[in-house]
Chain A
Amino acid sequence: MPEILDQARTQVLENGVGLDEAGVLAVLNLPDEDVPAALQLAHEVRMRWCGPEVEVEGIVSLKTGGCPEDCHFCSQSGLFTSPVRSVWLDIPALVEAAKQTAATGATEFCIVAAVRGPDARLMKQMREGVAAIRAEVDIQVAASLGMLSQEQVDELVEMGVHRYNHNLETCRSYFPNVVTTHSWEERWETLRMVRESGMEVCCGGILGLGETVEQRAEFAAQLADLDPHEVPLNFLNPRPGTPLADRPVVEGKDALRAIAAFRLAMPRTILRYAGGRELTLGDLGTRDGLLGGINAVIVGNYLTTLGRPATADLALLEDLKMPVKALSATL
């Protein structure tokens, strides 16, 4: 057993204290033959500190494309020659999407908009949309609308949005290579306001943007410092027309190392499979990750790309004897 896993067994599994940056880096550098042991330990940590339930979520894009920011991985930036056109979802379609999500057994429905931050039109659409969903659908509503002002944070709380997603995307030292139209610190400021408001903080990122293994460890440590309720873990799905269109996808083994390492850094967080897992891990790898620290999934489609059918993920969870977290357990 590698020394870092012995250390993690005591520190993380028994005492619930996450690995620091050096510890995460040691896990990320484990040789292939030690990856199964790392995943097994990460799974034990997840079961000990989070339990067997899996939180299921659906996401939908309320406003697609035409974003003024230049996040190099994103097909929704208006600054790149991406084929994604700008489109808005109307309220009846939003409510229908929430109903379809709830029908899968999901407890979370996240409304996302491709914007720097919400303007008055978007906030009005959110007010009406969240109210309509809360009136008709038994599901928790989350939001992801970019950078917020304090007034907007307060307004989202008033609407009943219980969790806010704002990804840091990558570590502080690599962020300027990925986004130049705003800073990592600006994102952190929104996260600070969200936390102080009482909304749950959802913050993760994307692996495979060109960051080094050391920067991946740096990112895990920075997320652990933030201590979010949820960490969505994406793997780059290179999008046509974006500056990262030609980047290779993350190797499956590296993705699994990262899953184990992020779990060992954050033993109590909701660690969610987000975009790119189909490409990076496939069916078998998806299963390995669920047995290696993941305890939440986005089911169905993503914002501009498609995912596995919800039924396939739900069947997998049943096969693994992992119950879907009930709505009553989240209230």
Chain B
Amino acid sequence: MTELVEPVAPAEPAGAGRWCDRCGEPSAAGGHDACAAARALEPPRYCVHCRRRMKVQVVPTGWSAVCVEHGEIRG
């Protein structure tokens, strides 16, 4: 399991940060309705703060996603 590098932060909805956490494109560009819908059945893949691909571990009852710069979120 990945190390916690910062306190656990709450999961943010797709497009809530600078970058879309599903496709990694700029949130401000819009067009992320499909990403938001897909996120109901997917964990985030990109850090919304820096666009880095996160290390994501899915387990039967949840998931965790770690950005090397911005820490871990869970859902």
Tell me if A93 counts as interface (CB < 8 A to partner B): yes
Q: With A93-B1, A301-B62, A306-B63 as given contacts, are A87 and B56 in contact (CB-CB < 8 Å)? A: yes
Tell me if B69 counts as interface (CB < 8 A to partner A): no
Which residues of A are found within 8 Å of B24, using beta-carbon distances? 83
Tell me if B12 counts as interface (CB < 8 A to partner A): no
Check A83 against B41 for contact (C-beta < 8 Å): no
Which residues of A are found within 8 Å of B58, using beta-carbon distances? 60-61, 64, 301-306
Check A83 against B46 for contact (C-beta < 8 Å): yes
Which residues of B are found within 8 Å of A87, using beta-carbon distances? 2, 55-57
Tell me if A101 counts as interface (CB < 8 A to partner B): yes
Q: How far is the CA of A240 from the CA of B41 in the complex (A)?
A: 13
Q: Which of B1, B41, B54 contacts A90 (CB 8 A)?
A: B1
Q: Convert A98-128 into 0s and 1s, putting 1 for each residue whose CB lies closer than 8 angstroms to a CB of B.
A: 0011001000000000000000000000000
The number of residues on chain A lying at the interface, defined by a beta carbon within 8 Å of a beta carbon of chain B, is 33
The number of residues on chain B lying at the interface, defined by a beta carbon within 8 Å of a beta carbon of chain A, is 22
Q: With A85-B54, A89-B1, A90-B1 as given contacts, are A240 and B23 in contact (CB-CB < 8 Å)? A: yes
Check A97 against B60 for contact (C-beta < 8 Å): yes
Check B61 against A100 for contact (C-beta < 8 Å): yes
Q: With A85-B53, A93-B1 as given contacts, are A305 and B59 in contact (CB-CB < 8 Å)? A: no
Since A64-B57, A83-B53, A92-B1 are in contact, a sample of 20 more A-B pairs with Cβ atoms closer than 8 Å, ordered by chain A residue number, is A58-B60, A60-B59, A83-B45, A83-B46, A85-B55, A87-B56, A89-B1, A93-B1, A93-B59, A96-B59, A97-B59, A97-B60, A97-B61, A240-B22, A301-B58, A301-B60, A301-B61, A301-B62, A304-B42, A306-B40
Q: List 19 A-B contacts (CB under 8 A).
A: A59-B60, A61-B58, A64-B56, A83-B24, A83-B46, A85-B56, A92-B1, A97-B59, A100-B59, A237-B41, A240-B23, A301-B60, A301-B62, A304-B43, A304-B56, A305-B42, A305-B43, A306-B43, A306-B63
Nearest 8 Cβ contacts at the A-B interface: A300-B60, A83-B45, A58-B60, A93-B1, A97-B59, A90-B1, A87-B55, A100-B61
